[in-house]
C-alpha cells in the first residue's frame, strides 16, 4: 500500500484512473474501521486534505461551497454557515465524537454511502449539489443522486467529490435534522429525518421537503409529507399527517440496530419534530 | 516495500521515523517513537484512548495514517505537562481521584486539554459531550467530569491572578 | 456523604490522599502489558474459528510457515490434554481448540513473526478444514433433548436420578426451605414473571496483552495484565504441563478487569511461541478479539414467583434460573441461586438453577457475577408487590430485611450486615424525599454480594530513613495500593506518602489469590496490617535495646516508641530505623494468611428517569446509591467503585447486549454497536457510603468492588415502569423494546 497526498485535483484523477484499487480519503473514519474489519486493502490511499479547495468553506455569491474533505468541526465552528443551514450543521456535529469531527468530512459521509449517514438527508432537503472531478473534468450532480445503495455510489471510475454547493436559503426558510440513537453520542443513526420548511407571510407553509435516513438503501424523500404541509399552517393535525406519511414512506430493514416496525414509527416521529423545529426557525426569519 | 520517512514535531521535539503507508499514527507513536502514553482500546475511533492533538486538532491517532503526520505538530499525554510542572488537569485528576485503572486517562487528559484550550469555561453538559468520545469503564465519569470543571476554574484563576 | 455507625476515629484511614500510582498514570508513564518492548521481540497472532460449532478435520500450516518473518506456529496438537476431572482442563481447551471449535472466535492456531503484520498475514494463511456442525445459541433451546450437543461427556449433575444421555445442562443446583405450598396458600398476593437478559461484556478499555520470554534454561518470564499473576502462573503451568517454578509472572498495570481478567487467554500460547522461536513474544488482542473470544457474563432466563401477605411480608418464593455459560460450564447458575432472594427474609422457598452450555464465548466473572440478573427478576417483582399493596418500596424492603442472626437463603446465618442501614440511608436521602420531576419515573432496588477472603501475602520493609515499602501480591484494579498504604500508615504512624505500596511479582511476594470478590482491601489489607503489627513489636524491641530497658517498658503509639517510665525521650520510627544496623539489622515482616470473615455487601439505589414516549428512549436523570463499605479506607476510591458499578449496571440495563446472527456470528464486536455508557449519557452519581464495620477485619473493611452493579437492572426497570406504566422483563431497555412495550400497553408485565 502506498500513501500519497497530491497537491492538485488533476493528480488525484490521474492516480485514480491509473489504479482501480486506489482510494481517496479525508478522515478515514470509515476506511480504517472497514480495513480492520477485513475490507481488502487499497493499493494506494490518496489523502485529499492537502488540496486547498477540498478543505475550504466559503460563501460565494449566495452559494456556500463546502470542501468535500473539510472536517465537520470546520462546519460547526462556522457561525455564518450555522445561521444559514442550522439543520445541516447540526447533522455535521452529530457525526461521532469531537475526535471524529476533526477528521470526518461531508465528502466521506456521502461517498461511504451508508444509508444512515447523518449529513445526507439535510444536504438533500437543501438541494445540495456535489461537484465531482473526473477524467472528463468537473461535473455537478445532485447529492441525492450520488449514493445508489449501501456502499455504492454513481461516481464513475476516476471520479471523486471535490466540494458541495448549497444555495443560501431564502427568507422565512430553515432546515432541521434529527436522528434517533440509543446513547447520546457515538452511535449510528437508527433513523434520521431532515426537513426544510418555508413559510409565507401568513405563517402557512409555502414549501417543504422531508427526507428520511436509515429507512431505505438511500435517502427517502416524502412527497406526501410535502403535500400535507404546503398551503397549511404547521398544526398538530398537519404534523400527524406528516408523521403518518413518513412512516408509510419508510421501507427499512430489521438489523442489529433496529426493527422495521420501530424504524417506521420513529421515522414519523422524528419527521414531524424536524418539521416543527425547522418551521419554528423559519418563523423567526430563518437564516436571514 | 520501502517504508515512508516522516518528520514531525512531537511534544516540542523534532522527531523522525519510518513507517508503513497503512500504519496508524498510534502504532507509529508506540512502535517507532516509543511514546507509550497513547493507548489502543479499540483501533476504530470509538474509545478515545489514543487521543492526541495533531496540528491543534484533537484526533484519534488510530484513525490517522502515520504518513499524514509528516510536517505536523503533535501533542501527546507525555507533552501536556510543562516540564516537571503538571498541567492543572493532571493535578486535578490526581486530587479528584479521576482515575482508577488509568488506561483511559491519557486520552481523557488530552481531550480535556483540547476542550479547555477552546472553551475555558465549559458547563458540565459541555464537558460531558466534549468527552463523549472517550470511554471509561471504571469511574462512571463522575469524578472525571468534576475534575475537568475544577481544572477549568483553577486555570481561570491562574489567568486572572 | 458518609453515614457511619460506631466507627473509631483514625488518623489516616478514611482520608483521601493522592494515590501513589497516580502520577505515572497522568503523565503517560504507567506501563501496561502492551507497552513493554524487549529486544528481538516477536509478535503473536491467533487464528480464530469463523464457525460457531465445527469439527476440525485438518490444519495445514505449510504455507504460513514459508511466509516472511514467521518464526513459530502452534496448534492444538502442540498441547497435551489434561485428565477429565482436572479443574483447569476446560481453560486449556478454551485457549486452543483441539478436535472441535465451540464458538466463533475459538482459537485454532497461533503464529509468532517479526512484525504484527507478518504474524497476522501468516495466521490467515493457515488452512483449516472444518466440518461444520449444528450449533445452539438459545439457552432454552439448548436445554431441550435433541439439541445439538457441545460436549459428549456432560451428564447433568444434581438431578434426582442419574441421566443416561449427555446434554447441554451441566448441573442443577437447588436450595429449599420451609413449605412452599403452604407459603403460597397463605399469601394474599402472588406475583410472578419470566425475566431474560443477554450476555454482557466486562468492557475493560485495555485489551488482554502479555509478553513472554522463554529462556534456554527452560524458564519463562511473563509480563501481563491480569487480576492475579499467581493464577496466571498456575494456569500457564497447567496448560503447558510445566512445574510452576519454571514460570515467573510480573504484573503490569492492569487497564480494567471487573472479573474478566481472573482467567487467562494468551499467556501459555506466548510462552510456547517464545520457547519455539527462542525470542520474546508479545501478544495483544484487538477489541474484536476481546468481544469474540473473552468472557462475557452469562445471558439468563429466570422465572420467579413471590407470595406476600396483605401487610407486605414476603412468605413464599419460587425461583427457576437458567444461566448460559458459553462453551464450557461455570458456576453461574449456582451463584444466581444463592443471590436471588438474599436481600429478603423468606420463610418458604424453592430455588433451582441450571447451568447451560451454548456455542458462545466461555463466560468469565463479571462484578458480582450472576447477582444482577437474579436481582432484576426479584426486585422487579418486589416493586410490583409494593405497588399493588400500595406500600412504599423502601418500607416494604425494610419489613422483609434480614439482619445479623437471620438465616441466609444459601445456608449460613447472616453476620453483621448493613442492608437496613442502606435502606434507611436511601429513605432519608434528599433524593428520595423529594418528588420526582413531572413526567419522570422513579425506581428503587437493592442488591447483595457475598465478598470473599482467600489467600493473601504481604511483606513490609522499613527503610533506613524511616519510610516503608509495602509489597503485596494483589494487582491493583481500583486503587488498592493507596488503601494498603493507608492501613500501613495507620498502623505504623507514619505519613501515608512515606509508604511505597508495590505489587510484587510471583518470586518476591508470597502466594496471593486473584483480585476478585472485592477481596484486595479486605484480605490483602489484613496481611498488611498483620505484618505491620509484627513490625511494631520489632520496633519496640529495638527501642528497648537503644534504651537498654525491658521491652515491656516500651509502648508504640502514633508512630513513636515511648518509655512507660518516662525516662527517655520518645523515639520516632525514623530514629529507630537509622540505628537498625546497630540494634539487630534490617526491619521487615511478612504475613501470609487465609482471610476469613469477609463481610457481605449490600447496596440500595434510587434512580429517576425520563422516557420519550414516542421513541422509547430512556434518559437517566438522577441517581443515588447507598452502599455498606464496612469502613471506607480511601473514600474517593470507595465512591469510585460505587459509581463505576452503578454505571456498568446502567449500561447493562439500557443498551448493552451481545448480538449473534443465526449462524452464531457476533454482530457487534466493537464499541460502536456494543454500547457502553458515554459521559453525556449520565448525570453525576450521588453516593452515600454507609459504614457498618465488619468485625472480622482490623479496620472493619467489607470490600466495595462489586455489589454496586446489582441494583441498577431492577432499579431502571422499576423507574421505567413508574414513568410509562409498562413492566418490561427483558433487557436491555433499548428504545425499540421500550417503545414496543409502551405501544402494546403491557401494564402488568403480561
pLDDT tens-digit profile of C8-59? 899 999 999 999 999 999 999 999 999 999 999 999 999 999 999 999 999 9
- pLDDT score for B159: 84
Position C749 scores a pLDDT of 45
Interface test with A, best of C288, C735, C740, C741 (most A CBs within 10 A): C735
Cβ <8 Å between C25 and B102: yes
Residue A226's pLDDT is what? 98
Report CA torsion sign: C272, C276, C281, C283: negative
The answer to whether A5 contacts B68, with C-beta atoms less than 8 Å apart, is: yes
In a domain, C192, yes or no: no
Answer whether B133 sits within 8 Å of A100, measured CB to CB: yes
- Asked whether A178 and A273 are in contact (CB, 8 A), the reply is yes
DSSP state of A49: G
Query: Measured between CB atoms, which of B37, B49, B132 is closest to C678?
Result: B132
Name chain A contacts of C655, Cβ cutoff 8 Å.
182-183
- DSSP, collapsed to helix, strand or coil, labels residue B85 as strand
Q: What is the pLDDT of residues C659-708, one digit of tens each?
A: 999 999 999 999 999 999 999 999 999 999 999 999 999 999 999 999 99
Contact residues, A window 65-84, toward B, CB-based 8 Å cutoff? 71, 73
Interface check for A266 against chain C (CB to CB < 8 A): the answer is yes
Chains that touch C (3 or more CB pairs under 8 A): A, B
How many domains does chain C divide into? 2
The answer to whether position C665 is within a domain reads: no
Whether residue C736 and residue A183 make contact (CB cut-off 8 A), yes or no, is: no
Q: How remote is the C-alpha of A45 from its chain's centroid?
A: 24
- Pairing between β-strand A160-167 and β-strand A129-134 as defined by DSSP bridges: antiparallel
Is the CB of residue C137 less than 8 Å from the CB of residue C360? Answer: yes
CB neighbours of C484 closer than 8 A, spacing ≥ 6?
C458, C470, C472, C501, C521, C524, C525, C528
Helix (H/G/I), strand (E/B), else coil: A50: helix
Domain boundary residue, one of C246, C266, C293 = C293
pLDDT at C63 over 70: yes
Searching chain A, which residue's CA lies closest to the CA of residue B61?
A99
Q: Is the dihedral of CA B81, B82, B88, B91 positive or negative?
A: positive
Which chain C residue shows the shortest CA-CA distance from B93?
A: C26
Q: Which of B22, B59, B62 sits opposite A102 (nearest CB)?
A: B59
Identity of the residue in B40, B41, B141 whose CB atom sits nearest the CB atom of C647 = B141
- Chain C residues with CB inside 8 Å of B31's CB? 37
Give the residue on B whose Cα is nearest the Cα of C25: B102
The answer to whether the Cβ–Cβ distance between B41 and C287 falls below 8 Å is: yes
How far is residue C492's CA from residue C574's CA, in Å, rounded to a whole number? 11
Helix (H) or strand (E) holding C426, with range, is helix C419-427
Residues of C in contact with A190 (CB under 8 A): 735-736
| Residue A102 sits at the chain B interface (C-beta within 8 Å) | yes
Chain B residue with Cα closest to A99: B59
Q: Closest residue of C to B38, CA-based?
A: C28
- Give strand pairing partners of C7: none
Which residue is it, cell 475534575?
B147
| Cβ separation A180–C615 shorter than 8 A | yes
Predicted pLDDT at C409: 95
**Cβ-Cβ contacts under 8 Å, A258 against chain C:** 736
Strand arrangement of the beta sheet that strand C588-595 belongs to:
C499-503, C468-472, C454-462, C588-595
B33 min Cα distance to partner chain A (Å): 20
Q: Is A253 helix (H, G, I), strand (E, B) or coil?
A: coil
C30 contacts B40? CB cut-off 8 A? no
DSSP letters spanning B12-78: TEEEEEEE-TT-BHHHIIIIIS---SS--S-SSSSS-TTEEEETTEEEETTSSBGGGGTT-EEE-GG
| Inter-chain CB proximity A180 and C678 less than 8 Å | no
Q: Which residue of A has its CA nearest to C669?
A: A37
Cβ C148 vs Cβ C52: under 8 Å: no
* Average confidence (pLDDT) over C87-91: 97
Task: Compute the count of residue pairs across chains A and B with CB atoms less than 8 Å apart.
Answer: 83
* pLDDT for the residue A286: 66
pLDDT digits (tens, 9 = 90+) for A105-139: 999 999 999 999 999 999 999 999 999 999 999 99
- Segment C295-309 shows an average pLDDT of 98
Does A182 contact C673 at a Cβ distance shorter than 8 Å? no
Percentage of residues of chain B with pLDDT beyond 70 = 99
- With beta carbons under 8 A apart, name residues in chain B contacting A41: 22
Report CB contact under 8 Å: B45, A102: no
Mean pLDDT computed over C374-396? 98
pLDDT at residue C539 in the model = 98
Going by pLDDT thresholds of 50, 70 and 90, the confidence category of residue C3 is confident
What angle separates helix C712-724 from helix C735-744, to the nearest 10 degrees?
40
Over residues C477-482, the mean pLDDT reads: 91
In chain A, which residue's Cα lies nearest the Cα of B62? Answer: A32
Q: Do B95 and C18 touch (CB under 8 A)?
A: yes
Q: Is the pLDDT of residue C746 over 80?
A: no
Looking at residue C750, its pLDDT comes to 39
Size of interface B-C (CB pairs under 8 A): 175
Tens of pLDDT, residues B95-115: 999 999 999 999 999 999 999
The confidence score (pLDDT) of residue C747 equals: 55
| CA-based nearest distance C133→chain B, Å | 32
Task: For residue C525, give the CATH number of its domain.
Answer: 3.30.365.10
Residue C150 in any domain: the answer is no
In a domain, C416, yes or no: no
Q: Which residues of chain B have pLDDT under 50?
A: none
Residues of A in contact with C673 (CB under 8 A): 187-188, 256-257
Which residues of chain B make contact with A108, given a CB cutoff of 8 A?
Answer: none
Residue that is last in its domain, among C561, C595, C629: C595
C207 to chain B, minimum CA–CA distance in Å? 6
Question: C575, C595, C615: which is the final residue of a domain?
Answer: C595
**Whole-angstrom Cα distance, residue A266 to residue C123?**
44
Strand residues in A135-262 grouped as ranges (E) = 137-142, 147-149, 152-153, 160-167, 173-180, 191-199, 205-213, 220-221
Residue with cell 454513481: A154
Answer whether C739 sits within 8 Å of A262, measured CB to CB: yes
Its domain, for residue C486, covers 453-595
Give pLDDT tens digits for C416-470.
Answer: 999 999 999 999 999 999 999 999 999 999 999 999 999 999 999 999 999 999 9
Nearby residues of C171 by Cβ (< 8 Å), 6 or more positions away: C156, C157, C158, C329, C333, C334, C354, C355
Name the CATH architecture for the domain at A2-167.
Answer: 2-Layer Sandwich (3.30)
Q: Is the pLDDT of residue C235 over 90?
A: yes
Spatial distance between the Cα atoms of C364 and C207, rounded to a whole number of angstroms: 15
| pLDDT tens digits, one per residue of C503-528 | 999 999 999 999 988 899 999 999 99
Q: Give the Cα separation of A137 and C365 in Å (integer).
A: 61
Question: Measured between CB atoms, which of C615, C668, C671 is closest to A256?
Answer: C668
Q: A115 in contact with B at a CB cutoff of 8 Å? A: no
pLDDT of residue C517: 86
Task: Give the neighbours of chain B: at least 3 Cβ pairs within 8 Å.
Answer: A, C
The shortest CB-CB distance from C256 to any of B90, B101, B128 is to: B101
CB contact under 8 A, C679 and B144: yes
Report the CATH number at residue C209. Answer: 3.90.1170.50
Q: What is the pLDDT of residue C16?
A: 97
Neighbours of chain A (3+ CB pairs under 8 A): B, C
pLDDT > 90: what percent of chain C?
A: 97
Res C729 pLDDT > 70: yes
pTM value is: 0.98
**pLDDT value of position C745:** 81
Assign residue A286 a region: left if phi > 0, alpha if psi is -120 to 50, beta otherwise?
left
Contacts of B49 in chain C (CB under 8 A): 205
Beta-carbon separation of A184 and B133 below 8 A: no
Residue C405 burial (C-beta neighbours within 10 Å; 0-12, 13-18, 19+): exposed
Interchain CB distance below 8 Å, B58 and A29: no
All residue ranges of chain A with pLDDT < 70 are 286-288
- Integer Cα distance of C739 and C746 in angstroms: 11
Give the domains, in start order, of chain B with CATH numbers: 4-79 (3.10.20.30), 88-160 (1.10.150.120)
Residue the block writes with cell 485438518 = C58
Q: Closest CB to C681: pick one of A180, A184, A256.
A: A184
The full length of chain A comes to 288
Smallest CA–CA distance from B143 into chain C, residue:
C640
Q: Where are the domains of chain A?
A: 2-167, 173-283
Across chain C, mean pLDDT equals 97
- Structure ipTM over 0.90, yes or no: yes
Of the residues A183, A192, A261, the best mutation for testing chain C's interface (the one with the most C CB atoms within 10 Å of its CB) is A183
C675 and A183 in contact by Cβ < 8 A?
yes
B43 part of contact set with chain A, CB < 8 Å? yes
CATH placement of domain A173-283: 3.30.390.50
Q: Which residues 6+ apart lie within 8 Å of C632 measured at CB?
A: C2, C14, C638, C689, C691, C704
A201 touches chain C (CB under 8 A): no
Contact between A36 and B43 using a beta-carbon 8 Å cutoff: yes
From B119's Cα to the closest Cα of chain C, the distance in A is 17
Amino acid at each position: 500500500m502506498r500513501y500519497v497526498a497530491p497537491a492538485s485535483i488533476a493528480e488525484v484523477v490521474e492516480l485514480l484512473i491509473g489504479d482501480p484499487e486506489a482510494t481517496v480519503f479525508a478522515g478515514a473514519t470509515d476506511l480504517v474501521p472497514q480495513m480492520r474489519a477485513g475490507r481488502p486493502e487499497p493499493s494506494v490511499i490518496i489523502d485529499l486534505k492537502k488540496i486547498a479547495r477540498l478543505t475550504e468553506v466559503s460563501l460565494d455569491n449566495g452559494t456556500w461551497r463546502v470542501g468535500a474533505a473539510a472536517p465537520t468541526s470546520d462546519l460547526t465552528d462556522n457561525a455564518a454557515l450555522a445561521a444559514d443551514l442550522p439543520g445541516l450543521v447540526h447533522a455535521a456535529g452529530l457525526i461521532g465524537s469531537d475526535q471524529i469531527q476533526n477528521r470526518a468530512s461531508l465528502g466521506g459521509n456521502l461517498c461511504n454511502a451508508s444509508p444512515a449517514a447523518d449529513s445526507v438527508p439535510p444536504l438533500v432537503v437543501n438541494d445540495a449539489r456535489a461537484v465531482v472531478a473526473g477524467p472528463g473534468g468537473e461535473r455537478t450532480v445532485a447529492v441525492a443522486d450520488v449514493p445508489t445503495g449501501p456502499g455504492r455510489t454513481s461516481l464513475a471510475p476516476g471520479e471523486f467529490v471535490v466540494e458541495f454547493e448549497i444555495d443560501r436559503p431564502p427568507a422565512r426558510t430553515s432546515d432541521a435534522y434529527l436522528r434517533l440513537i440509543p446513547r447520546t453520542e457515538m452511535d449510528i443513526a437508527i433513523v434520521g429525518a431532515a426537513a426544510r420548511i418555508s413559510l409565507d407571510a401568513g405563517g402557512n407553509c409555502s414549501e417543504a421537503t422531508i427526507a428520511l435516513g436509515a429507512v431505505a438503501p438511500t435517502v427517502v424523500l416524502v412527497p406526501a409529507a410535502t403535500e400535507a404541509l404546503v398551503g397549511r399552517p404547521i398544526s398538530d393535525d398537519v404534523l400527524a399527517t406528516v408523521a403518518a406519511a413518513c412512516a408509510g414512506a419508510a421501507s427499512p430493514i430489521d438489523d442489529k440496530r433496529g426493527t422495521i416496525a420501530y424504524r417506521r414509527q420513529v421515522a414519523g416521529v422524528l419527521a414531524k419534530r424536524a418539521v416543527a423545529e425547522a418551521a419554528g426557525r423559519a418563523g423567526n426569519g430563518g437564516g436571514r | 516495500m520501502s517504508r515512508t520517512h516522516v518528520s514531525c514535531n512531537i511534544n516540542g521535539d523534532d522527531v523522525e521515523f519510518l513507517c508503513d503507508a497503512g500504519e496508524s499514527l498510534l502504532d507509529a507513536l508506540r512502535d517507532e517513537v516509543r511514546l507509550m502514553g497513547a493507548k489502543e482500546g479499540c483501533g476504530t475511533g470509538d474509545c478515545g484512548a489514543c487521543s492526541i492533538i495533531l496540528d491543534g486538532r484533537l484526533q484519534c491517532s488510530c484513525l490517522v495514517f502515520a504518513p499524514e503526520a509528516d510536517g505536523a505538530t503533535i501533542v501527546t499525554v507525555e507533552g501536556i505537562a510543562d516540564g516537571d510542572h503538571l498541567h492543572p488537569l493532571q493535578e486535578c485528576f490526581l486530587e479528584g481521584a479521576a482515575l482508577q485503572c488509568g488506561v483511559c486517562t491519557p486520552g481523557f487528559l488530552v481531550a480535556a486539554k483540547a476542550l479547555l484550550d477552546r472553551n475555558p469555561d465549559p458547563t458540565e453538559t459541555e464537558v460531558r459531550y466534549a468527552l463523549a468520545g472517550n470511554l471509561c469503564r471504571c469511574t462512571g465519569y463522575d469524578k472525571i467530569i468534576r475534575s475537568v470543571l475544577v481544572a477549568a476554574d483553577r486555570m481561570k484563576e491562574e489567568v486572572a491572578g | 456523604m458518609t453515614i457511619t455507625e460506631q466507627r473509631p476515629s483514625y488518623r489516616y484511614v478514611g482520608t483521601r490522599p493522592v494515590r501513589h500510582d497516580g502520577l505515572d498514570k497522568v503523565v503517560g508513564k504507567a506501563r501496561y502489558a502492551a507497552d513493554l518492548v524487549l529486544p528481538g521481540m516477536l509478535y503473536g497472532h491467533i487464528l480464530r474459528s469463523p464457525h460457531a460449532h465445527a469439527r476440525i478435520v485438518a490444519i495445514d500450516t505449510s504455507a504460513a510457515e514459508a511466509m516472511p518473518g514467521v518464526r513459530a506456529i502452534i496448534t492444538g496438537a502442540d498441547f497435551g490434554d489434561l485428565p477429565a476431572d482436572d479443574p483447569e482442563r476446560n481453560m486449556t481447551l478454551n485457549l486452543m481448540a483441539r478436535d472441535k471449535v465451540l464458538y466463533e472466535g475459538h482459537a485454532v492456531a497461533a503464529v509468532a513473526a517479526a512484525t504484527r503484520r507478518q504474524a497476522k498475514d501468516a495466521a490467515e494463511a493457515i488452512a483449516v478444514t472444518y466440518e461444520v456442525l449444528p450449533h445452539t445459541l438459545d439457552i432454552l433451546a439448548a436445554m431441550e433433548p435433541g439439541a445439538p450437543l457441545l460436549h459428549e461427556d456432560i451428564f447433568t449433575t444434581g438431578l434426582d436420578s442419574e441421566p443416561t444421555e449427555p446434554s447441554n445442562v451441566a448441573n442443577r443446583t437447588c436450595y429449599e426451605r420451609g413449605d412452599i405450598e403452604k407459603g403460597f396458600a397463605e399469601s394474599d398476593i402472588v406475583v410472578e414473571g419470566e425475566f431474560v437478559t443477554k450476555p454482557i461484556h466486562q468492557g475493560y478499555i485495555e485489551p488482554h496483552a502479555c509478553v513472554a520470554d522463554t529462556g534456554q534454561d527452560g524458564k519463562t518470564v511473563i509480563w501481563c495484565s491480569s487480576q492475579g499473576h499467581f493464577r496466571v502462573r498456575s494456569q500457564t503451568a497447567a496448560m503447558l504441563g510445566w512445574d510452576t517454578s519454571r514460570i515467573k509472572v510480573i504484573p503490569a498495570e492492569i487497564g480494567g478487569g471487573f472479573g474478566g481478567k481472573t482467567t487467562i487467554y494468551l499467556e501459555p500460547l506466548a510462552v510456547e511461541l517464545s520457547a519455539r522461536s527462542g525470542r520474546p513474544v508479545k501478544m495483544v488482542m484487538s477489541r474484536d478479539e476481546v468481544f469474540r473470544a473473552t468472557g462475557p457474563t452469562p445471558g439468563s432466563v429466570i422465572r420467579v414467583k413471590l407470595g406476600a401477605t396483605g401487610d407486605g411480608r414476603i412468605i413464599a418464593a419460587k425461583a427457576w434460573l437458567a444461566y448460559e455459560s458459553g462453551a464450557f460450564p461455570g458456576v453461574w447458575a449456582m451463584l444466581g441461586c444463592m443471590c436471588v432472594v438474599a436481600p429478603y427474609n423468606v420463610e418458604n422457598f424453592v430455588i433451582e438453577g441450571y447451568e447451560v452450555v451454548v456455542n458462545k464465548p466461555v463466560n468469565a466473572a463479571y462484578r458480582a457475577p450472576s447477582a444482577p440478573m437474579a436481582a432484576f427478576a426479584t426486585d422487579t417483582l418486589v416493586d410490583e408487590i409494593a405497588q399493588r399493596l400500595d406500600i412504599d418500596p423502601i418500607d416494604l424492603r425494610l419489613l422483609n430485611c434480614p439482619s445479623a442472626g437471620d438465616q441466609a437463603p444459601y445456608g449460613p446465618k447472616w453476620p453483621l450486615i448493613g442492608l437496613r442501614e442502606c435502606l434507611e440511608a436511601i429513605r432519608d436521602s434528599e433524593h428520595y424525599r423529594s418528588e420526582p420531576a413531572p413526567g419522570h419515573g422513579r425506581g428503587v432496588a437493592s442488591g447483595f454480594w457475598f465478598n470473599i477472603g482467600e489467600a493473601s501475602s504481604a511483606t513490609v520493609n522499613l527503610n533506613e530513613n524511616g519510610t516503608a515499602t509495602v509489597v503485596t501480591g494483589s494487582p491493583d484494579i481500583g486503587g488498592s495500593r493507596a488503601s494498603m498504604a493507608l492501613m500501613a500508615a495507620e498502623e505504623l504512624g507514619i505519613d501515608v506518602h512515606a509508604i511505597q505500596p508495590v505489587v510484587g511479582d510471583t518470586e518476591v511476594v508470597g502466594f496471593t489469590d486473584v483480585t476478585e470478590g472485592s477481596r484486595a482491601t479486605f484480605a490483602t489489607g489484613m496481611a498488611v496490617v498483620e505484618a505491620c503489627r509484627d513490625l511494631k513489636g520489632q520496633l519496640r524491641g529495638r527501642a528497648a535495646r537503644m534504651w537498654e530497658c525491658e521491652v515491656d517498658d516500651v509502648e508504640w503509639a502514633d508512630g513513636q516508641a515511648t518509655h512507660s517510665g518516662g525516662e527517655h525521650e520518645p523515639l520516632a520510627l525514623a530514629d529507630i530505623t537509622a540505628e537498625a544496623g546497630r540494634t539487630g539489622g534490617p526491619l521487615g515482616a511478612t504475613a501470609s494468611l487465609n482471610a476469613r470473615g469477609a463481610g457481605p455487601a449490600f447496596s440500595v439505589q434510587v434512580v429517576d428517569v425520563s422516557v420519550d414516549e414516542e421513541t422509547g428512549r430512556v434518559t437517566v436523570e438522577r441517581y443515588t446509591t447507598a452502599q455498606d463499605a464496612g469502613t471506607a479506607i480511601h473514600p474517593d476510591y470507595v465512591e469510585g467503585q460505587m459509581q463505576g458499578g452503578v454505571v456498568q449496571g446502567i449500561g447493562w440495563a439500557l443498551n448493552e447486549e451481545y448480538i449473534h446472527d443465526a449462524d452464531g456470528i457476533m454482530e457487534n464486536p466493537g464499541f460502536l454497536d456494543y454500547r457502553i455508557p458515554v459521559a453525556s449519557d449520565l448525570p453525576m452519581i450521588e453516593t452515600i457510603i454507609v459504614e457498618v464495620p465488619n468485625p472480622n477485619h482490623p479496620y472493619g473493611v467489607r470490600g466495595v468492588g462489586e455489589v454496586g452493579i446489582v441494583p441498577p437492572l431492577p432499579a431502571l426497570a422499576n423507574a421505567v415502569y413508574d414513568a410509562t406504566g409498562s413492566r418490561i422483563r427483558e433487557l436491555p431497555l433499548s428504545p425499540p423494546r421500550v417503545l414496543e412495550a409502551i405501544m402494546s400497553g403491557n401494564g402488568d408485565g403480561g
